[in-house]
A and B are shown apart, each in its own frame.
Chain A
Amino acid sequence: MNIAGMGLVSARGRGVAALEQALEQGWVPPGEVEVKGLASGRLPVYAVSAETLSDKVVLAKARRADRFTRMAVLAASDALQDSGLGASVDKSRLGIIVATALGPHATTFSFLDGILDFGDAAVSPTAFSHSVHNAAASYIAMTLEARGPTLTVTHFHFAFHQALEIARSWLDQGRCDAVLVGTVDELGSVLHHVCGRMTKSAADGRITPFAFSATPETVPGEGRAFFLMTRDPDGAAYGCIKPVGGAVPDGGASLQLLDADGLAKDERAYRAAVIPGMPVAGYAPLFGGLLTGSAFEVAVAALMLKKQRRYACPVRDNPHSISLLSEPLTAPLSAVVCIKLDCSGRAASILLGRSAS
């Protein structure tokens, strides 16, 4: 299936141009938030700015929505806009799939605040209706007037991979002409606390994807990456995505991206997952650690294929002397594989090709 358009919202801004700028600029230090209950009292994070979410035109129908949904609506709308297919897509055959690990938890906790502060009989119906995982998909559908199937799926490691395969299934079955598929996960005060206690914070603010550490360090991130997928060979602005595999392919790609973001308790398995002889890159240091961060790696890979440009790794600590992509390079690039491992070392890979499928 082909990638016709992309939309992104991250700490580095909104849209494909912001992604490209971040890749050219490289690593920048994260921000910091105050965190209740942590000994340090602070946590480095890559958070999406309020300014990034301030588009009153696109968000007109989502003006009551929370940050989780606003990020989703912007990225999905941008993906459709970026494809240039907005006017030609039959909205009754436009599907939406949202993948998330944790859903709109900040709104869930806001709803719990209502219970604790005002009692069970006096909670906000708005907070409740926005706390369901599929509120974001609903707002995307309303904003884009998309009348095809909408689906929200969750998985703690491979939500995006599963969503991509469902999108492929919908296209293959003729259920949809085009599918907007993407991820969203957000930070919030409780998640800051949970991350502070359950992960090891990178003191210098740098995620090191190639350390393959038994005790990896991370900087939590948030954001959204959306893709407009089609079967139309003319809609392959960013190339295509081959069937998602459980095993790491041993051929076909000339660059591998590792989604090692420090969220796992142990990242040593990534060392064994590296395909020998193939250059390695990883971009989690730009966006932070997200359970659905694979979507950002795929966005980088797609942009590389479109631009025929390899972007240098933003953090290049390389204690294992692997073949790291340390300098930018403009040269032919036909395929890129993105590799993700879960906590038990199971792998999932996404192979992107330059030509239409």
Chain B
Amino acid sequence: MNNWVVAPLLIPLFTAVLLIFLHNKLKLQRWISLLSSLLNVAVAIFLMVQVRTTGIQTLNMSGWAPPYGIVLVADMFAVLLVLAASIVTACCLWYSFRGIDEERERHYFYSLVHFMIAGVNGSFLTGDLFNLFVCFELMLMSSYALIVLGGTKRQFRETLHYILINVLSSTLFVASVAYLYGATGTLNLAHLSMRIAESGQTGPITVVSALLLVVFSVKAGLFLFFWLPGSYGAPPAAISALFGALLTKVGMYALIRTFTLIFYHEVQVTHMLIGTMAVATIILGGFGAVSQTNVNRILGYNVIASIGFISLALAVSNEDALKGAVFYLVHDMIVKALLFLLAGILVAETGTERINRMGGVLSHSPLLGWMFLIASLAVVGIPPLSGFPGKLLIIQGSLENGQYIVAAAGVLLTLMLLYSLIKIFILGFWGKARRPREAHWKQSRKLLLASAPLMMLIILLGVFAEPVMPYMQRAADILTDPSIYIQAVFKE
């Protein structure tokens, strides 16, 4: 029992409610929300140290022992993602001081962000399937409001699609919860894992797992991603950065958690399916990224392609690949947020989202150009940056298992993403300046300052990959051996 486990959920929730009452005091709102997100970072670091020294932390809500009550479980995997999410949120909030117009700020922007973060952290920490659904809904509800906040025509159009898709997948989620409860009589993740290990993963349970795969794939953008590029491009940069960094990753986390902890018996069926979907996602996402000329759409397809890449690791599911998946997931959260934030500045500087109408930004804001280049190289996985270790481990893991097609898809993806991002760099930053906007420069320097911490982080994470690796190892240990997780939940 450790009461700190609930803090990453409670702090944003409390802040969000507090901010509703202060919605006209902009300065106060900004500082409270930044402080609260920094507090969350501190709590996440504190939890990570605790997990490192004393093992998995659990909290039985209202003292009901598992499997009867809801249990929150902070293992290394969850805590690392909570930490990455908190850091990304803090930077995006700082960025939105300048990057979001006052009208949006006044209309509960900060409250909605904090509600969303509560949902995201809750999804990472919960140890109960239905509670996962509730946290998903909390996150999605606030994301519906965030994506439409501002109310332009384009936002309405995209939001309607986005809501419909997510309502449908949530419905299927409840249906699969119902089937699982009918089949096993429990919803606690650890208990589900035990029950299914005892009774064997029979045909019906495999079918339910496929239903859950569909649900989480829609949320993660794995293969069922047709809604993603449009809707992530609709809101302002700070909001799309949060979406691109966090929402799909929560779906990915749920996929990894359920398919390593519960449904790991019928690997030929489920993991084969995941592998096929992952390769298809990589190919479609990669081609999508290459074919687009809209900055936000290119980045949307980039998000999809890296989700495909992480799912490759899940399909392979050996120790190296999962360690790589944890590393890559943390890296991807940070770098995708950074890319969306920088693209937001780029769009503000040039006044257009089309890359063939941009040009020459490098001459009047060189810092933006070089930061964008470094971020692109990190996505691709050039060695000193943070994309490299994760990518190396995943490809190494797939080669160890003799899955050469998977490894080839991973390498192919790298080339396509490199091409799509360098295209932005060449067309956007080189050449003659089309619309010099000197007046804008002061504004964007402050925005660049807010994205700088993420930039530092991807460099540090790449250079100091060795000292970080034990944490990833700890996370991968739990993913490869479910009994550690089960024992931690049922220890008392």
Do the two shown chains form a genuine complex with each other?
no
